[in-house]
Each structure stands twice: as structure tokens, then as C-alpha cells.
Amino acid sequence: MDYKKIYEEWLSNPYFDEETKKELQSISGDENEIKERFYADLEFGTAGLRGIIGAGINRMNIYVVRKATQGLANYILSQNKAEKGVAIAYDSRRMSPEFAQEAALCLAANGIKAYIFESLRPTPELSFAVRELGCIAGINITASHNPPEYNGYKVYWEDGAQITPPHDGKIMAEVKAVTDWNTVKTMSKEDAVAKGLYEVIGAAIDDKYMEELKKQVVHWDSIKEVGKDLKIVYTPLHGTGNIPARRVLKEIGFENVYVVPEQELPDGEFPTVSYPNPEAEEAFTLALKLAKEKDADLVLATDPDADRLGVYVKDTKTGEYITLTGNMSGCLLADYEIGQRKETEGLPKDGALIKTIVTSNLADAIAAHYDVRLIEVLTGFKFIGQQILNFETNNSGTYLFGFEESYGCLIGTHARDKDAIVATMALCEAAAYYKTKGMTLWDAMVAMYDKYGYYLDGIQSITLKGIEGLAKIQDILNQLRQNTPKEVGGYQVLSARDYKEDTVKNLATGEVTSTGLPSSNVLYYDLSDDAWLCVRPSGTEPKVKFYYGVKGTSLEDAKDKSEKLGKEVVDMINKML
């Protein structure tokens, strides 16, 4: 149907409320805005929905949420799993409680029990709750670290991971099959409660989640020895992490935790930052100010749904706070968790370290050192969760640690998504352990580089919004796919992986093999001298991302090589625009 006709239908159909119609009437003279809102349905991707809040089929609103939930309900009913129920959580964003409520009432109207959290909770706790309650699925209302105008809708399956094949494709098909708004069911909260199809959850799940986190502590002795001395600054960036992060740190013995007061309380407008992302330097401005006042040892920030952790550590030699990228903090935790497990109880013969294809090759060196299996998966933590499920189902491996470069990791198997609460706990534990050895976390990082090699990784990305932006992103991928570069930034391209076509081509011999991974619109180039480059569209933002890594002879050499390659990548992007 023509987008103008859909727009007119929303204005005239009694199904849509007056407030929605008033919003749409306000854009009646803006042809481009009408097109952006109605040219296509907000795409239900492999994890769910994410988009700008507002009226229209290409926006996040109660009607789009209901429709997505109806599709999910139809799939659950087709699997005869309605009796297991669905857990629902939400974050601090605008409309998050309302969207969670709409999802719960749609499920209830379909005879599927909804377990909805009483107030905002972190993403990893939703993953834990799905498993703990024995649910068939989970829904989390969050747009993670996106700007304030966004919200999202993530779907989890019964193992606690975000949906993967075959469920993702089948759920997407059911959502697309919902074409008549009048077939989307809902009911009143009172009726849902009366029928036993709506249950509020909270403290009992919180307590069980906390106990699972504390099981992951390796060195209680180190925390007991120096936990009262270590100074930690933490910010939840107006999101869900405040209560659980402070609680777990207090319960395991850290006494000096200073929370950034301006960012402590939930606020969907994120008033102190333009972009609530722990990858961004801006997100740490207030935390670093507090850290200098308190002379803190480390500075931590979780994103709004508390699945990603940003880190600054103090270099006592210079007095400066140094940022750790997701690759750096992930490798630091991987080395600590696997190394201390080896020291305290030994490693299983089938132990595995899992990383994504855009994650540092330093992880490969760590796995080789401990003689554990290194498994590489596509970008997206759900693929790490899928590997854990394979281990359990087939008795084919033991999960030791998993992480991705985008500041997310999981310690333990209580959840199947990134968990910044357990990462916060573990990093503070590691800081305590190294403090007992006369080392800071930065000392430990430098020692790791000295031990494994000076790997350094970077990323360049460009934002291309709207219909034209999506087309340009595809054009960039197509240009590279049709013309494989022979060299990038002075590095020779040794092989080219095309995950969409499932090919790995050796440029010297012409031999073509399989990637061994599911289809994905991603290109990866293995370069000379242990360097690499990967190109992929973002799955959550209107961006195309260029990831790259180098290996130097020293930290300074690695920085120089990384900066040079980064500049060459920018030049390459500009030539394609």
C-alpha cells in the first residue's frame, strides 16, 4: 500500500487513539516526515525492533509493539508452549513501562502468561529470569545505548539468549503475517490478573540473580584483604545498573563505591550526555571528575540496560586515568578468569573461550597460552549464547569466558547475554587481586601485552540515516564485494571472507573455502603482519562500521600502526561515498 494511504488510514481508523492522530495531524504538511514514518514497517530483525519513538509503522509505539507481540504469541502457540509463559523487563527509556505493559496484555489476551518486572531491570537479569522461571521466551524493552529518541524490543528464547535460527526467522515471519490491526489482541490488566495470566515479579528474582553472580567470585581472600581500601567510581548513566551494581559490590565487600550523583537516577532523557554510551569519552566526564576528587583506582560506567561496561583505570606512575576499550577490558577479564580458574581448580580439557569475528586477536593468543579452544562467532552476543547451548545440549564443551569488542562479556552461565553487572563485580575483584600483588589494573594490562604481544584494535564508523542512508550503506558493501582490495593501508590482503556468500578466498592461490558460519552481510580481510579489517552494517544503528586490528613490537609501535591504518580506512570510506 502507498505510504500516504497508510498515513490516511491511521488518521481515520478508530483503532488508533486520538493522541496518535493528533501527532500525525501535526506533520500533515511535511511530505518527507510522512514518508519516513510510513514507507515501510519498522523492521523486526533477528533480535526484534529498534527505532525512533513516534506514531507510524516505521516508529516505536504501542501499536507496533502489540503487533510484534501478536506475532511472537502466534509462534509460541504454534509450538504448543503457551503454558511456559514469557518474562518481560524494561529499562529507563521513554515509553519503556508502557511498551512492556502492552506486550504483557497482548500475551495475556492470547492465553500466554506474562511475568513482568515491577520496575526497571538490567538486560542480563531478564535473561536470567527466563531461565529461572522456565519461560518459553522473554521480551526486553530497551534501545541499549542509542540516543534518547529511540526505544526497542528484544526477544529471547527459552535458553535465555536472544533468538537465533530457526526461531528468529519463524518469529519474523509470524510478525510480518500480521497485516490486519484488528487481529491484534489485547485485554485489560484487571482481566489478565483475574485469569492468572499477569504476574508481577521482582525481589525474589533479584535475590537469586545476586546469588548467581557471587558464585563467580574466585578470590574472596583478595577482596577481604583490600576491598575496604580500593576506591571505585561508578555511573549507571541514568539507566538500570545503579541498584544491582551497588548491591553486588557491597555484598562481596567493597566499601568505597562512589556513584556519580548527577547520573544516579533513571532518566530516559539522559540529561547529562548526548549519547548514553560507555564507549564514548563524553559519558565519563562527570565520573572522571569525581574519580580525581576521590583518588579512585578505577572508574566504571554501564549503559542504560546494563549489558555493556566501560572502564577507565588509574596509572599510578602518571596519575592519569586511561580508557580501556572493550577489547582491552574483555581480554583483561578473560586472562584473569581463565588464569585464576587454572590456578585455583584447574581447567577442563574441553574448555572454550568464545569471541566474535570483530574482536581482538589478543583473545586468540590468550586461548593458545592456556591451551583452550578458541571459538569465533558472528557479531552479536546471541551467537555466544548459542555456543553455550550447544555445549550443554551435546556435552561438547565447557564455557570459560565469552566477549565481544563492543564492551560486553559474560562470566558464568546464569544468563545468556552480556552482563555488565557481573563484569563490574569481576573487574573490581581483579583490581583487588592485583592490588595484593602490588599492581594496578593498568599494570596488569601492560603485563598482558608484554606476555602475549602488542595487539591494538580500532573502529571507524559513519552514520547514514533514512532511506538514502540505508541504500548508501548497501552500496559501500557492494563496492567492496565486487572489487576486493589488494592492499589496505600498506598491508597486503591475504584472504577475503564474505560471510554473506559463505566464502573465504585465498588471494595468492585463488582457493575458495567456506566460512563455516551463518550468512551475514559482513566482509573480512586477513592482512599481512597479523593485521585485519572487517566491514559490516550496524545491527542497531544507521551506521556502517569498519573494524581493524594491528600487532606492534611495542605499545607505542602498535598505537602508531593503528592510527595509520585508521586514517587509511577513513580515506577508503571517503572514496566510496
At which residue does the C-alpha cell 571459538 appear? 375
Q: Cell digits for 82? A: 503457551
C-alpha to C-alpha distance for 9 and 55, rounded to whole angstroms: 12
Count of CB atoms situated within 10 Å of the CB of 508:
10
To the query of whether residue 26 is one of the catalytic residues in this protein, the response is no
Q: Cell digits for 358? A: 570483530
* Nearest Cα to Cα of residue 324 among 350, 292, 362, 286: 362
* Nearest Cα to Cα of residue 329 among 385, 290, 279: 279
Integer CA distances (angstroms), 45 to 119, 172, 176, 231, 475, in order:
26, 7, 11, 42, 20
**Helix or strand holding residue 537 (H, E):** strand 532-537
542: preceding bond cis by omega (within 30 degrees): no
Under a CB-based contact definition with an 8 Å cutoff, are residues 423 and 409 in contact? yes
**Helix or strand holding residue 339 (H, E):** helix 326-344
Residue 443 contacts by C-beta under 8 Å, 6 or more apart in sequence?
434
Exposure b/e, 389-425, CB count within 10 A at least 16 = b: bebeeeeebbbbbbbbbbbbbbbbbbbbbbbbbbbbb
Q: Exactly one of 92, 96, 127, 144 is catalytic; which is it? A: 144
C-alpha to C-alpha distance for 213 and 215, rounded to whole angstroms: 5
Residue 381 contacts by C-beta under 8 Å, 6 or more apart in sequence?
161, 162, 307, 356, 402, 404, 408, 410, 417, 418
Count of CB atoms situated within 10 Å of the CB of 261:
10
Pairing of strands 256-259, 298-302: unpaired
Under a CB-based contact definition with an 8 Å cutoff, are residues 353 and 373 in contact? yes
**Helix or strand holding residue 107 (H, E):** helix 96-109
C-alpha to C-alpha distance for 40 and 57, rounded to whole angstroms: 7
Active site residues: 144
